[in-house]
Structure 1
Amino acid sequence: MEKNYHVCTGCGLLCDDIEVESEKNIVNKVYTACRVGVAHMKEAGRGEADFLVDNKPVDEATAIREAASILKNARNPLIFGLGTSTNETQKIAIELAKKINATLDDTSSFCLGPLVEALIQDKLKTCTLDDIRNKADVIIYWGTDPSDSHPRQLSKHTYFPRGSEKQRGWEEERTAIAIDVRKSHTAKICGNYFFQIPPKGDAEFIDALIAGLSGKLPKTSYNHPPKKLLELANILKGAKFGVIFVGRGLIYSLENLEPLFKLMEILNEKSNFHLIPMVGNCNTMGFNKNLFAETGYVNSVKFENGTVKHGPEHSVVESLKAKTVDAALVIGSDPLLILPGSIAKNMLEIPVISVDHCETLTSKHSKVYINTATSGVEAGGSAIRMDGVKVSFEPVIETNHPSEEVILKKIMEAL
C-alpha cells in the first residue's frame, strides 16, 4: 500500500496536495480532493486498453494504421479537443496539424477564448491563485458557480483560507460577491452580496456599476436600487486587492469584451483589481498558450502549406456547420455531447478518430477509438493552471494504456 501527494487533473485548479492510496495499480482511496477529483482519479487504472475500428476490437498497430489512413486521405481534417491533454501532447498535436494541413481548435472558441487571448496579450491585469489566497480582500464571481464546477476553489484559494496578509480570513477580511442569473450555491455563500440579473443583463449591470464607480447616481438595475449599487461600488473602490472570476455566463452575455475592458480600466483607476477566467478543463489554458506561442492565435486556426489562417470559420462550430472538414481527430473531448445537435450531427457524416481515456458518446460513433492513459493519474507531464501557472506531475499508478503523447507520435510516424 502506497500513500503519496499528487496533482489532480480533474479541473483547471490542478490541486497539488492530493493524497492517494493505491494497490496493484488501482486507486483505492483519495484524500483532500473534491468530489470531482475523487471520481476523476478513481476511474483510472481499471481494465485493459481498448483499440476499436468500427467498434470491433483490434490491436494497437491496426488502430494506428487506420487512424493514419483517415488523416492521410482527408482534404481538410479537423483536430479538436486537447483541453485535458498535457502540454507535451498539445505541442505534438500542433506539429501533427501542421503536417497534415489540418484545422485545429478547442472548446475555448465557444467559451472563454476571447478572454484568455486578452490575458495572454496583457490587455487585462491578472494574478495567481496564490496571490489571491494571501492578499485578496474582495472576490467577485461573475457568471460562474465554483462551488459546483471547482469545488475547492473557495476553500483552498479565495474566500475561506488564511493568507499571509489575510490571517482573519472571510470572517473579517474578505468580501465575496456573486453576480449571476440564478441563486447558485456560490451565491448563497455570498449572502447579501448576491446580485441577480436576467440572462443578457450583464452589460446593463456593468453600466450601472461604472456609473457608481464614477461618482454618479446609477439607475436602478434589475430591482437593485441605486443605494445598493452605490454600496457595491464603494466596496470595489475600497479593495486593496480585488479579483473578478469570469465565467461563461458573463462571456455568453456580452457581444464583445469592451464593457469588461472598460470596467477593469475604471476599477484600476479607483483601486486594484485583477481578472481570472474560470477555465474548466485542466489544460485548456495550456492549449491556448501553446498555440498562441506557435501561431499568435489561441484557437480556430487552419494550417495550409506552411501558412496559418485564423478566423471563426475555422472554429469547430463553423467548420462542422459549413461541412468544410472531411475527417476529425478528437482528443480528450466529446463534441457529440457538448455541441448543439444540429451542428454535432454533421460529425456523424465524416470519419472520426477518438483518442480518449474514457468511453464517450463521440468514441461510440467513431471509426477508430484509441483508449489512452489518464493524464495526471496514469501519465505524467505538465499543464497550465487557470491562473497561468505551470504545474508538473508524475503518474499516480502504472498502466498498460498508452499515453496520448505516445499515440500522437505513432500516428505522426505512420503518416
Structure 2
Amino acid sequence: MVTCTCTGCALLCEDIDVIIENNRVKEVKNACRRGAARIRGCVNRLEPSVNKKQADIDTSIKKAAEILKNARSPMLFGWGNSTCEAQVKGIELAKRLNAIIDDNSSFCQGLLIERILKKKFRTCSLEDIRNRADVLIYWGSDAQDSQPRHLSRFSYFPRGEHRQHGYEEDRTAAVIDVRESSTAKICKGHFYRIPTGGDRELILALMDALSGKVPKYDKRVLELAGIMKKAECGAIFAGIGLTYSIKDDPDILVALADKLPNFNIMPMVGHYNMRGFNENLFKETGFVNRIRFEGRPVHNDGYAVVEALRQKSIDALLVIGSDPLSSLPGSIVSHLADIPVICIDPCVTLTSRIAAVTIPCAVSGVESGGSAVRMDGRVVELPGIIENNHLSDQEIMTGLMEAL
C-alpha cells in the first residue's frame, strides 16, 4: 500500500491509500468517488495522433510545435489540471510564441483569486478553518457535491483544536443558494434561498443590517446578519454561483468583507491546480488570466477564451488540462471547427475527438509527480506512484519548446 495525493479537486487530499498490484491501481481508500475515479485512471486512454491518424509521440509534438509556430494568433488554454511545473513551462512557451494564455478561471473564480493575491480579501488556510471556524457560509457553492470531503475534513464535521464539539455545538453552517443543494440539506435550518442573480441585492441588505439599518429585504436577512456578526472566526466559501452573479461588480464582496473583520473569504476552486496557474501567471504578469505576450504581457478581457472564440480572433488553440467542448456553449466553441486544435490530456475527451493533434500525458499524482496549489494557497507535492512510459505534462511542454 502507498499513500498519494488526490487530484480529483482543489482540496488535494493527502491521506489517500492506494493498493497497487502488477503496477496497476487495484483499490483506493479514503478518497471520495470523484477522487477515486481520478486515481484509477482513464477508462479510455488518449493515443498520439496527427490529423486523426495514429502517430508516435515525437511526431505529434513536432506537428503541434509547427502549428503553433505558424499561427498568427495562437492561444494556450486550460492548465487547471496541470502541474505547476507544466504551467511555468507553458507561460514560457506563450512568451516565446507571443501567444495568448488563459485558463478556466477567466469564466469562474479568477475574479476572486486575483483579489486575494492583491490582498483585498482576508483569507486563511483550510487547517485554520478546521481548528478555529465557528461560522461557515456556503454561498453559491454545493461543496458536498463539488468538493465532497470539504465538510468532513475541514469545515463542518471535524473536531478542531478550538472546536472540540464540532457541528453539534461549536459550528453553525449556512447555505445561500438558488436551490436547496445537498450541502443545504446537511446545514438544516440555515438555508437562505435567493432568486437567480439575487446575490448583489442580498449583499447590500446584509451590509445595511450589519450597519444597524433595517434592510428592505426578507426578514431572515437579520437572522443571517446576526449569525455572521457574532462569529469569532467565520468563513465565506464563495462558489461559482456567487462569482457569476457578481462578476460585473466583484468589489461588492470586498465591501461586505470589510464589514466582517472576523471573516475570511475562500473561493471554492474546482480544478485541482487552477489556483496554481493563477499564482504562477500573477508572479509573471500581475494578472491571473487573459494575457497576451507582445514583447510584454498585455491584459485584456478580449483575451479570455470565451471572447477569443466568440470573436474568432485566434487561429490555433492548444488545450491542456481542460475540456472546453464539455464546459462551454456550442455557439462559442463552434469556431474550433475552423482552426487546428492541439489536445494534451491523459484521457479521451470531447475536445480530443475534434483535435488535429493529440498528445497523451501521464496522470499527475499517479503516473508522474510535480506540485500543485491547494484552494487555500498551500503548495502540495504530488508524488508519482506508478511506473509508466507516459510523458508528464511538464516533459511535453519542454518538448514543444525544443521543437520550435
Same fold judged by TM-score > 0.5? yes
1:122 equivalent in alignment to 2:119: yes
In 2: Cα distance, 1:309 partner to 1:214 partner: 40
Secondary structure in structure 2 of the residue aligned to 1:192: coil
1:146 equivalent in alignment to 2:146: no
Please report how far the alpha carbon of residue 219 of structure 1 lies from its aligned counterpart in structure 2 after TM superposition.
2.0
Corresponding letter in the other structure for 2:8: G
Any conservation in 2 of the 1:85–1:332 contact (CA below 8 Å)? yes
Query: Which of 250, 253, 264 is the matching residue for 1:257?
Result: 250
- Structure 1 residues 181-236: Cα deviation after superposition (integer angstroms, max 9, x where no partner): 00000011111100000101111111221122111222233xxxx2x322221111
Partner of 1:273: 263
- Structure 1 residues 155-186: Cα deviation after superposition (integer angstroms, max 9, x where no partner): 00000001011100100000000000000000
Any conservation in 1 of the 2:44–2:348 contact (CA below 8 Å)? no
- Structure 1 residues 332-387: Cα deviation after superposition (integer angstroms, max 9, x where no partner): 11112211111101011100110001111110100000111011111100000000
Please report how far the alpha carbon of residue 258 of structure 1 lies from its aligned counterpart in structure 2 after TM superposition.
2.4
Query: Which of 223, 227, 240 is the matching residue for 1:235?
Result: 227
How has the CA–CA distance of structure 1 residues 235 and 405 changed in structure 2, closer, same or farther, with 3 Å as cutoff?
A: same
Please report how far the alpha carbon of residue 398 of structure 1 lies from its aligned counterpart in structure 2 after TM superposition.
1.3
Q: How many residues align?
A: 403
Give me the TM-score of the superposition, normalised by structure 2. 0.98
1:344 equivalent in alignment to 2:336: no
Corresponding letter in the other structure for 1:291: L
Please report how far the alpha carbon of residue 124 of structure 1 lies from its aligned counterpart in structure 2 after TM superposition.
0.5
Partner of 1:303: 293
Partner of 2:354: 365
- Structure 1 residues 268-296: Cα deviation after superposition (integer angstroms, max 9, x where no partner): 1xxx0000000000000000000000011
Please report how far the alpha carbon of residue 12 of structure 1 lies from its aligned counterpart in structure 2 after TM superposition.
0.5
Please report how far the alpha carbon of residue 4 of structure 1 lies from its aligned counterpart in structure 2 after TM superposition.
1.6
Corresponding letter in the other structure for 1:250: L
In 1: Cα distance, 2:217 partner to 2:310 partner: 41
Query: Which of 38, 45, 51 is the matching residue for 1:40?
Result: 38
Partner of 1:63: 60
1:396 equivalent in alignment to 2:385: yes
RMSD: 1.1
In 2: Cα distance, 1:49 partner to 1:277 partner: 32
Corresponding letter in the other structure for 2:95: K
Please report how far the alpha carbon of residue 48 of structure 1 lies from its aligned counterpart in structure 2 after TM superposition.
7.2
Query: Which of 260, 279, 291 is the matching residue for 2:281?
Result: 291
Q: Larger deviation: 201-210 or 140-149? A: 201-210
State how 1:5-44 maps to structure 2 within 5 Å.
Answer: 5-44=3-42
Any conservation in 2 of the 1:105–1:315 contact (CA below 8 Å)? yes
Identity %: 52
- Structure 1 residues 29-48: Cα deviation after superposition (integer angstroms, max 9, x where no partner): 0000001001111125x787
Unaligned runs of 5+ in 1: none
Corresponding letter in the other structure for 1:252: Y
Give me the TM-score of the superposition, normalised by structure 1. 0.95
Partner of 1:220: 217
Partner of 1:73: 70
In 2: Cα distance, 1:345 partner to 1:276 partner: 34
- Structure 1 residues 232-280: Cα deviation after superposition (integer angstroms, max 9, x where no partner): 2111111000000001101111121122111111111xxx000000000
- Structure 1 residues 389-412: Cα deviation after superposition (integer angstroms, max 9, x where no partner): 000121121112111111111111
In 2: Cα distance, 1:364 partner to 1:178 partner: 39
Corresponding letter in the other structure for 1:309: V
Unaligned runs of 5+ in 2: none
Any conservation in 1 of the 2:45–2:347 contact (CA below 8 Å)? no
- Structure 1 residues 66-122: Cα deviation after superposition (integer angstroms, max 9, x where no partner): 111101110111000010101000000000000111100001011011110000000
Partner of 1:411: 400
Q: Larger deviation: 170-179 or 50-59? A: 50-59
Corresponding letter in the other structure for 2:55: V
Any conservation in 2 of the 1:49–1:401 contact (CA below 8 Å)? no
Secondary structure in structure 2 of the residue aligned to 1:328: strand
